[in-house]
Amino acid sequence: MTWGEGARVPEVSEGSVVDGRYRVLQRIGSGGMADVWLAEDAHLQRRVALKVLHSRFSQDREFVERFRREAEAAAGLQHPNIVAVFDRGEFEGSYYIAMQHIEGRTLKELIDAGLTPEQAVGLIRQVLEAARFAHRHGVVHRDLKPQNVIVDGEGKAVVTDFGIARAGVSEITQAGSVMGTPHYLSPEQAQGMDVTAVSDLYSVGVILYEALTRRVPFEGESAVAVAMKQVSQAPQRPSSIDPRVSPALDAVTMRALEKDPGQRFQSADAFIAALDAALKEPGTTGGTAAFAALPPVVAVPEDEEPEEEEKRHNRRRWLLVAVAVLIGALIGFLLTRDDTTGVPSVTGNQLGVAISLLQQDGFSVGEVKRVENKASVNTVLEQDPLPSPPANKASLECAFLTLFCSKPKVTLTVSAGPGSAKVPATAGLPRAEAEAKLKRAGFGIQVENAHSGSVATGAVIHSTPSAGSTATRGSNVILTVSSGQKLAKVPVLVGSQRSVAVQQLRARGLVPSVSEESSSSPAGEVVHQAPSAGAEVEPGSTVSIVVSKGREKIAVPNVIGKPRPEAVAALREAGLSPTVQEQETEVPSQAGRVVDQFPPPGSKVDKGTEVNVVVGKLAAEPVEPNKPTVP
């Protein structure tokens, strides 16, 4: 069966025999991709570490194929600081790698026990040696962490787990996820971007940080939280946690942890050189060479043969000629040699990193000038000589007619920070004038508006920090500018009871003016207001409200005894609605006049109430029967 074919995946356990060769003794580790077992190699009678791929990956043909290719690449890495891969293959659908078994403690255990800075650098240097070798062979580890480094009893560090590294252009991931340990992932790896050798160096930087401080740069409640911090936050400097960490070692660690891959060490060699430089005392040493004197001329004994003396004389003459030619050639070389050198660019780096970069190229730092600048403290702003390219190369410092030259000292101008200044007084000034004053003092400006009854609109009420206090140049000063007196909004009053309306107005600082009028609305209810609801007025303004007295009551006039037309006219004039009812009467004086009314005279009734009046009408005389005629 070939790699990647589907098959039943057996359970590996103690006592199992894998591939007819490896007898499993005990589990010694487990990770996200595989379990690691201590096994006995029956063929070579040696113990090995047997890594068996988890069953969920064994069913993924594409994943297994990548695992196979990259295991083959890892098997070619033969280096003292890289665990040896002896064998790889498959067993009944399960895929394994047989590796060198190393007895010792993990680097994580040593870090937890405590390391000196020198011990930490020594171990990290070995990890970098392993990474350098792997990178030169096109293999990126992708999961460097102290748990994957084993240190034997002699102090040799060996990096494990190269079997699942990236070789060439392949990349092992779970679908939709990034494999690796969040605390040691590079920012680009945490974002699912391409992983390069520089990503491995970031992980080594995290291990270095942990070895120096006994803590990782970023902690979080979840893997996602840690990954977000890797991408967006800067770590605390190691020296602020352990004062034994030197500024130079601080700078090396912080450069290794740069978010931008282009700002990190670009190779393990550069990282190692920076660590070596950090452990040395600052400054450079050198010396001059002396030329040995020519051997003295040997006198010829008097009794020597003339022929022999001639030969000896010729030899001396040719020797002198050769020396003269050699000296002439040397002088010509010294006068025509290229005595210039390129200077690396260190502007934009922190001072410690800049010093390390210059020392790596054989330069020493001369004067360090500090100037106030907006850049962060110790950021290199300028260098002299200028970097080349684009500038011309710098001249070497050579003594006249000597073979030895030294590179010039580099003067660095670094930021001392923006400095500080007193906040000028701006209270009462117009906004534009106040802003100009703050800009001249070197401050940024932030404006907030607030109402004020005492400061004119557009003028400054106060500043934060206050006038006369000291603040960092470039920091923002908050100007609180008056937007005038705060206006009161007239509430909705129509429909409210009189007492409620008055209370609402007084609560807003307004003065109620109340009048009454008759209305069909219930008594005590507000029927009109001025200004209308929603209008904004100055505090203390008067708001008029009209309150209903209810319907108007009318006294019923007395129309009894009045002629019918006059009575009807009087009731209508009073705002009442008359109705007329006739009643027969035998009293002639009551005919056509009101004999009764209801409601009675003087009654209080609503306007328009119906009043019934009774008008007298003479009764008809009875007709007598015809009397018989008397003839």
User: Which of 65, 100, 135 is the last residue before a domain boundary?
Assistant: 100
Sheet of 444-450: strands edge to edge?
Answer: 444-450, 476-482, 460-464
Q: Give me the catalytic one of 19, 35, 143, 303.
A: 143
Distance CA 494, CA 508 (A): 17
Q: What are the Cα distances from residue 271, in Å, to 124, 167, 312?
A: 10, 22, 59
Does 446 share its domain with 523? no
What is the length of the chain? 631
Does 579 share its domain with 530? no
Distance CA 617, CA 74 (A): 135
Distance CA 20, CA 603 (A): 125
CATH code for position 180: 1.10.510.10
Residues 6+ apart with CB under 8 A from 302: none
Is it true that the peptide bond before 465 is cis, omega within 30 degrees of 0?
yes
Does 62 share its domain with 117? no
User: Which of 548, 565, 590 is the last residue before a domain boundary?
Assistant: 548
Q: In one letter, which amino acid is 596?
A: D
pTM of the model: 0.44
Report if residue 332 sits inside a domain: no
Does 116 share its domain with 256? yes
Name the residue with higher pLDDT: 441 or 332.
441
pLDDT at 168 over 90: no
Report if residue 291 sits inside a domain: no
| Residue 144 tokens, joined | 């460097």
| 143 classed as catalytic | yes
Mean pLDDT score, 526-532: 93
Residue 400 pLDDT class (50, 70, 90 cuts): very low
pLDDT of residue 542: 94
Beta strands in 92-202 (DSSP E): 94-100, 105-106, 139-140, 149-151, 157-159, 166-167
pLDDT in tens, 237-267: 999 999 999 999 999 999 999 999 999 999 9
Report if residue 182 sits inside a domain: yes
Does 477 share its domain with 496? no
Does 109 share its domain with 182? yes
Domains of the chain: total: 6
Does 132 share its domain with 250? yes
Pairing verdict, β 139-140 and 604-606: unpaired
User: Which of 100, 134, 158 is the last residue before a domain boundary?
Assistant: 100
Is the separation of the CB atoms in 218 and 183 below 8 Å? yes
What phi and psi values does residue 110 have, to the nearest 5 degrees? -70, -40
Q: Would you call 265 exposed, middle or buried from its count of C-beta atoms within 10 A (0-12, 13-18, 19+)? A: buried
Report if residue 330 sits inside a domain: no
Is the separation of the CB atoms in 418 and 441 below 8 Å? no
Q: What are the Cα distances from residue 537, in Å, to 496, 509, 630?
A: 20, 10, 106
Does 231 share its domain with 141? yes
Note the helical H segments in 221-365. 223-232, 238-241, 247-256, 268-279, 306-336, 351-360
Residue 232 CB-half CA count within 13 A: 6
Does 409 share its domain with 506? no
Does 268 share its domain with 344? no
Report if residue 469 sits inside a domain: yes
Mean pLDDT score, 367-375: 86
| Residue 286 tokens, joined | 């050198």
Report if residue 629 sits inside a domain: no
DSSP state for residue 164 in the 8-state scheme: G
Residue 3 pLDDT class (50, 70, 90 cuts): very low
Residue 395 pLDDT class (50, 70, 90 cuts): low
Is the separation of the CB atoms in 37 and 48 below 8 Å? no
Distance CA 477, CA 448 (A): 11
- Lowest mean pLDDT, pick from 15-19, 164-168, 433-437: 164-168
Question: Residue 593's domain spans which residues?
Answer: 553-615
Does 192 share its domain with 243? yes
Long-range contacts at 393-400 (CB < 8 A, ≥ 24 apart): 393/340, 393/341, 393/342, 393/343, 394/340, 394/341, 394/342, 394/343, 395/339, 395/340, 395/341, 396/339, 396/340, 396/341, 398/339, 399/288
pLDDT at 98 over 70: yes
Does 257 share its domain with 144? yes
Mean pLDDT score, 121-140: 93
Report if residue 450 sits inside a domain: yes
Distance CA 350, CA 376 (A): 9
Pairing verdict, β 444-450 and 476-482: parallel
| Residue 610 tokens, joined | 């119906």
Mean pLDDT estimate for the chain: 82
CATH code for position 353: 3.30.10.20
Residue 132 pLDDT class (50, 70, 90 cuts): very high
Distance CA 206, CA 211 (A): 9
Is the separation of the CB atoms in 278 and 249 below 8 Å? yes
